[in-house]
């Protein structure tokens, strides 16, 4: 028994066992046992499979380097099927105000990756539900005060506001505003550092996040991303991005990034896809 305990790797078994890694290894064991059975007989295949299961039970893995393999080849959505929430989606992490915008959104599980960002499935689903929940809500100054974390907010028309007496913000549409309010509530729930961010930082996060919206909040239609290039005098070329609904044509987001084609930043290439 002591020999078995010495052979056992506690860091990969028991409560520390990784379900996706175990499933991958059992699948590989079945394939290899089947091949052994065909090549050397059914009995050999059965023995191989039992030995493989024992190794998986006591060691955690049959194939060395399994954690690296599952990280590389299993998508976040597949891992979530096994109940393996990505680290980016765990509430224990917080927003670092000094980090880049995409890195902040990755840290709280809104985006998958800072280099090639896209909405995580869990955040996209929660965002759509939050938008549906406030679809008929009156977005007044009290809502905006909560959104930006300041008492000094005055509403101007349907899509504008002034924050702290001197900072003006204008949304591209009323539905862009609704999307931001819904996203802000989710970020407040998921990121323990949200309440420490300045109104400026919150605006930057929400604007960046809205570029990746998947479903039109106005009609549920599909999203269309268009871009055009401008070449200002004495500046590098810029790519202007416009995000709108392809069905009802509601504008939802826009941005300008330095660079075009292969020189464009990772987030632009991700949005294009």
Over the chain, what HEC string results? Answer: CHHHHHHCCHHHCHHHCCHHHHHHHHHHHHHHHHHHHHHHCHHHHHHHHHHHHHHHHHHCCCCCCHHHHHHHHCCHHHHHHCCCCCHHHCCCCCCCCCCCHHHHHHHCCCECCCCCCCECHHHHHHHHHHHHHCCCCCCCHHHHHHHHCCCCEEEECCCEEEECCCEEEECCCHHHHHHHHHHHHHHHHHCCCHHHCCHHHHHHHHHHHHCCCCECCCCCCEEEEEEEEECCCCCCCEEEEEEEECCCCCEEEEEEEECCHHHCCHHHHHHHC
Q: Which of 153, 237, 239, 264 is nearest to 203 (CA)?
A: 153
- pLDDT of 253 higher than 90: yes
Total Cβ atoms within 10 A of residue 85 = 15
75-89, 122-136, 190-204: which has the minimum mean pLDDT? 75-89
Q: Which of 86, 63, 95, 103 is nearest to 188 (CA)?
A: 95
3-class DSSP state of 153: strand
- pLDDT of 272 higher than 50: no
Tell me: the pLDDT tens digits for 176-192?
999 999 999 998 887 66
Tell me: the pLDDT tens digits for 62-98?
777 666 556 555 555 555 555 454 433 333 346 666 7
Distances (CA, A) of 59 to 64, 98, 160, 209: 10, 41, 60, 42
Highest mean pLDDT among 86-95, 100-109, 157-166, 188-197: 157-166
Name the band, by pLDDT with cuts 50, 70 and 90, for residue 269.
very low
Highest mean pLDDT among 79-83, 99-103, 114-118, 167-171: 167-171
Share of the chain above pLDDT 70, in %: 73
- pLDDT of 41 higher than 70: yes
What predicted TM-score, i.e. pTM, was given to this entire model?
0.62
Share of the chain above pLDDT 90, in %: 37
pLDDT at 99: 75
Tell me: the pLDDT tens digits for 133-150?
998 888 999 999 999 999
Highest mean pLDDT among 4-8, 28-32, 83-87, 189-193: 28-32
Q: Are 254 and 242 in contact (CB under 8 A)?
A: yes
C-alpha to C-alpha distance for 10 and 178, rounded to whole angstroms: 48
For the CA atoms of 97, 182, 266, 272, what is the dihedral angle to 10 degrees?
-170
């Amino acid at each position: 028994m002591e020999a078995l305990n010495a052979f056992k790797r506690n860091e990969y078994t028991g409560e520390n066992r990784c379900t996706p890694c175990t499933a991958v290894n059992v699948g590989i064991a079945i394939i290899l046992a089947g091949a052994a059975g065909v090549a050397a007989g059914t009995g050999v295949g059965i023995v191989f499979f039992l030995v493989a299961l024992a190794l998986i039970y006591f060691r955690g893995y049959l194939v060395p380097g399994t954690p690296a393999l599952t990280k590389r080849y299993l998508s976040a959505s597949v891992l979530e099927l096994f109940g393996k929430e990505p680290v980016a989606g765990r509430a224990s992490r917080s927003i670092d105000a000094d980090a880049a915008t995409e890195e902040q959104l990755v840290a709280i599980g809104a985006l998958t990756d800072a280099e090639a960002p896209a909405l995580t499935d869990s955040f996209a689903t929660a965002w759509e539900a939050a938008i549906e929940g406030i679809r008929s809500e009156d977005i007044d100054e009290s809502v905006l005060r909560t959104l930006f974390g300041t008492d000094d907010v005055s509403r101007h028309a349907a899509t504008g506001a002034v924050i702290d007496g001197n900072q003006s913000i204008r949304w591209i549409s009323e539905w862009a505003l609704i999307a931001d309010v819904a996203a802000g509530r989710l970020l407040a729930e998921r990121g323990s550092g949200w309440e420490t961010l300045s109104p400026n930082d919150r605006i930057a996060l929400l604007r960046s996040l809205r570029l990746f919206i998947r479903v039109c909040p106005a009609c549920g239609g599909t999203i269309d991303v268009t871009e055009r290039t401008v070449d200002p005098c004495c500046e590098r070329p810029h790519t202007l991005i416009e995000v709108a609904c392809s069905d009802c044509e509601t504008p939802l987001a826009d941005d300008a990034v330095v660079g075009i084609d292969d020189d464009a930043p990772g987030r632009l290439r991700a949005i294009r896809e």
